[in-house]
Chain A
Amino acid sequence: MIKNIAFGAFLLISSFVFSQNTSMSSAEAKVFVMKVSSESKEIKTLQADFTQTKKMDFLDKSIVTYGKMSLKSPNMLSWKYIKPYQYSIVFKENKIFINDQGKKSSVDAKSKTFEKINKLIVGSSNGQMFNDPEFSVSYFKNANFNIAKFTPKSAQLLKYIKQIELQFPKNESTVSQVNMTEASGDTTNIVFKNTKINAPISASEFSL
Chain B
Amino acid sequence: MRRFLLQSFLYSLLFFLFVSCKTYKLTNVRSISNSETTVENLYFSSNEDYVYKCQMDIYNNHVSGILIIKKIGQTTHRVVITSDFGNKLIDFEISDNDFKLNYVLPDLDKKLVINFLKNDFQRLLKREYPVTGSFEDDNSKIYLSKIEDQSYYLFYNKDNSLLKKVIYTKNNKEKIDFTFDAKKHIFADSIDLQHKDFNINIKLFQITDTE
Contacts and interface: CB of A to CB of B under 8 A. Distances in A.
Given A54-B82, A100-B55, A184-B103, A64 B211 contact: yes
Contacts of A98: 62, 64
A48 to B, nearest CB: 16
Contacts of A183: 103
Contact of B85 (A83, A111, A184, A188): A188
Interface in A160-200: 160-161, 180, 182-184, 186, 188
B49 interface: yes
B80 A56 contact: yes
Most buried by A among B78, B86, B103, B207: B86
Nearest to B70: A58
Interface in B83-99: 84-88, 91
Contacts of A81: 84
Contact of B49 (A61, A89, A100, A160): A61
B162 interface: no
Given A52-B86, A84-B207, A59 B49 contact: yes
A88 B210 CA distance: 19
A111 B55 contact: no
Contact of A159 (B64, B68, B84, B106): B106
Contacts of A63: 51, 66, 68, 86, 207
10 contacts: A54-B82, A60-B49, A61-B211, A63-B86, A87-B84, A89-B84, A98-B62, A98-B64, A113-B107, A160-B106
A-B pairs, top 9 by smallest CB distance, nearest first, are A84-B210, A188-B86, A84-B207, A54-B86, A85-B53, A100-B64, A87-B84, A59-B49, A184-B103
Given A160-B106, A188-B87, 16 more contacts: A52-B85, A54-B86, A63-B66, A84-B207, A85-B205, A87-B53, A100-B62, A100-B64, A101-B205, A103-B62, A159-B106, A160-B87, A161-B87, A184-B88, A184-B91, A188-B85
